[in-house]
Structure 1
């Protein structure tokens, strides 16, 4: 399957919109359950930064090919969040979160899967851009 430029642009926009869902899960940063279960990463400041990363993805959607290394940074960022999520899942019980708040439970259930999907997407785009650069 070949990724077209249009598809990649849509991928960056979707990645950004997925990050923006933090506004829903956090109830516009008023949901105290999310930060309670992981105060180091998912504090309200951390949730705000997830939203900001999403804006960064959207901001380069049409010009991603001009910022190859930034796409690489996005891949590393998603890798880190994916690893943090796995560590959290191994050391916590998501059903405890669901008991406190359904949106927080959903957030903890899916955020890492989202990060792994977009890690792969950003990595594929980065590698593609590196190949184009090497051929020019």
Structure 2
């Protein structure tokens, strides 16, 4: 991957984590998302996701100097993938759709999104 592509990947991840949260939570007014998973997706948890997004953007142009931090980012994504897998195995996304379409879409895609960015970050953090 070129440096430009990797930089864009970091920025994209940051935008998804920040603006995506604002969109899906309807500016933190959508109560269905935190009610559906009050541990991981509480309003505080959602705010922290946005802060992670800002961290991705902050290192976008200096990522090659912070490979260990990129590995931490990949680990963070792994935690969300595991949390999503656990939630998905024990809950019904259809019930979320029945309550709110946007929250249903959120719970349908957030695990895949985190998995893809985990692979991206993991691949990069392991390069020398």
Instruction: Indicate the TM-score class for this superposition, using the shorter chain for normalisation.
Output: over 0.9
Give the aligned length: 127
Q: Which has the larger radius of gyration?
A: 1
Q: Which runs of 5+ in 1 are unaligned?
A: 132-136
Q: How does 1:1-136 map to 2 (within 5 A)?
A: 3-20=1-18, 21-128=20-127, 131=128
* Deviation, structure 1 residue 74: 0.2
Which whole-Å CA distance do the structure 1 matches of 2:3 and 2:43 have between them? 35
Residue-by-residue CA offset, 1:64-99 (whole Å, 9 max, x unaligned): 011111100000000010111011100000000001
Q: Which runs of 5+ in 2 are unaligned?
A: none
Question: Aligned with 2:22: secondary structure?
Answer: helix
Please list every run of at least 4 consecutive aligned residues from structure 1 whose deviation after the TM superposition is greater than 2 angstroms: none
Residue-by-residue CA offset, 1:45-70 (whole Å, 9 max, x unaligned): 10111111001000100000111111
What TM-score, normalized to structure 2?
0.97
Which whole-Å CA distance do the structure 2 matches of 1:88 and 1:17 have between them? 24
